[in-house]
C-alpha cells in the first residue's frame, strides 16, 4: 500500500561529538538533530526552505537543515547553536553582541541567525551595513524588524576584530 522506505546507518559529527544512528531515509536533518539527538536549539519554522530558522553549519557553511536528509549528513560535520558558546560560563562574542544589542525577542529565529552570522563574519570580518543586510536576508524574523539584529552583527564584528 505505502511505498517502501529504506533505513540507513549513519555516523555524524555534531558540535565535535560523533553520533551513530539508524535512520529512515526521509528523516529530515532538522528532525534528526532535534528528536534523535535532542539538540532542540535548531528550530523549524517552515520546512520549505524560506525562513532560515533551521540554519545549521555543514562543514562550516550555513545550510537549511529542513532541506537535507539526515542520511546526507553521514560522514559530515555539523555545527548547531549548541556548539557556539565555548563553555557554560562564557558566550560566543556573537551571542554577547546579540544580548547587548537586544537582537532577539521571542528567540525562535535566533539560532538560525547566529549560525548564519558566525559563518558570514568569518568570511567578511568588516562588513558594511548593506552587506550585513544581504547576508542575513535568508533568515526571517517577525519580532525585531531586523534593526537591532543589524546592530548586533555590527557589534559582533567589532568584538571579533578586537579579539574578544
Partner 1 sequence: MKPPRFRYFAPTSVDEAVELLSTHADAAKVLAGGQSLVPMLNLRLARPEVLVDINRIESLSYLRVEDGHLAVGALARHRMVEKAPEVAARVPVLQEAVRHVGHVQIRNRGTVTGSIVHADPSAEMPAVLALLDGSVRVVGPSGTRDIPWQELFLTYFTTTLGPDELAVETRFPLPPAGAGWSFMEVARRHGDFALVAVAALVTADETGRVKEARLSLAGVGGTPVRPERAEALLAGQALEDDVLAAVADAVREAIEPESDIHASAEYRRHVAGVLAGRALRAAMERARRGGEG
Partner 2 sequence: MATRYFGQPIKRNEDPRLLRGRGLYVDDVQLPGMLHMALVRSPYARARIRRIDTSKALAAPGVVAVITHADLPANLQGPLPPLIPHPTLKHHKTQFALAPGQVRHAGEAVAAVVAESRYAAEDAAELVEVEYEPLPAVVDMEKALEPGSPLVHEDIGTNVAAHYTQVVGDVEKAFAEADLVFEEVFRPDRGQAQPMETRGVVAVYDRNLETLTIWDSTQAPIRIRSGLAELYGMRANQVRVIAPNVGGGFGPKIMMFYPEEVLVPWLAMKLGRPVKYIEDRREHFFATNQERDQVHRVQVAVRKDGTILGIKDVFLYDTGAYIPYGLIIPIVASCTLPGPYKIPNYHAEFKAVFTNKTICSPYRGAGRPHGVFVMERIINRIAEELGIDRVEVRRRNLIQPDEFPYDVGLIYQDNAPLRYDSGNYPGLLDKLLKLIEYDQWPARKEQYRKEGRYVGLGLALYVEGTGVGPYEGARVHVEPSGKVWVATGVGTQGQSHQTTFAQIVAEELGVRVEDVEVVTGDTGAFHWGTGTFASRAAVVAGNAVALAARDVKAKALEVAANLLEASVEDLELADGQVRVKGAPQRAVSLGQVAVAANPLRGTIPPGQEPGLEAARYFNPPQSAFSAGGHAAIIEVDPATGMIKILKYAVVHDCGRLINPMVVEGQIHGGVAQGIGGSFYERLVFDENGQLLTTTFMDFLIPTAMEVPDIVIDHQETPSPLNPLGVKGAGEAGVIPVPALFVDAIEDAFSGYGLRFREVPLDPNRLRQALAEAGVPGAGSTAA
Which residues are at the interface with partner 2 (CB under 8 A)?
A: 1-2, 24, 26-27, 34-35, 38-48, 50-51, 53, 80-82, 84-85, 91, 95, 98-100, 102, 104-111, 114, 132-134, 136-150
What is the footprint of partner 1 within residues 52-71 (CB under 8 A)? 52, 55, 58, 61-64, 66-69, 71
Residue 160 burial (CB count, 10 A): 18
Relative to beta strand 7-14, strand 77-79 is parallel
How far is the C-alpha of 15 from the C-alpha of 13, rounded, in Å? Answer: 7
Closest CA to 96 of 41, 145, 156, 141: 156
Please report, as ranges, the residues that interact with partner 1 according to CB under 8 A. Answer: 2-6, 8, 25-26, 28, 31, 47-49, 52, 55, 58, 61-64, 66-69, 71-72, 116, 119-120, 134-135, 137-138
Amino acid at each position: 500500500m505505502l511505498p517502501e522506505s529504506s533505513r540507513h546507518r549513519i555516523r555524524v559529527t555534531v558540535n565535535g561529538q560523533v553520533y551513530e544512528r539508524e535512520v529512515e531515509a526521509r528523516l529530515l536533518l532538522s528532525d534528526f538533530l532535534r528528536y534523535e539527538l535532542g539538540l532542540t536549539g535548531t528550530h523549524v519554522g517552515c520546512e520549505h526552505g524560506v525562513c532560515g530558522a533551521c540554519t545549521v553549519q555543514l562543514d562550516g557553511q550555513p545550510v537549511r537543515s529542513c532541506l537535507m536528509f539526515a542520511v546526507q549528513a553521514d560522514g559530515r560535520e555539523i555545527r548547531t547553536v549548541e556548539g557556539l558558546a565555548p563553555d557554560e560560563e562564557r558566550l560566543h562574542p556573537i551571542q554577547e553582541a546579540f544580548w547587548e544589542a537586544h537582537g532577539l525577542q521571542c528567540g525562535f529565529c535566533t539560532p538560525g541567525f547566529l549560525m548564519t552570522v558566525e559563518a558570514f563574519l568569518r568570511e567578511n570580518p568588516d562588513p558594511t551595513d548593506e552587506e550585513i543586510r544581504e547576508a542575513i536576508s535568508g533568515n526571517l524574523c517577525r519580532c525585531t524588524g531586523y534593526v537591532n539584529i543589524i546592530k548586533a552583527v555590527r557589534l559582533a564584528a567589532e568584538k571579533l576584530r578586537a579579539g574578544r
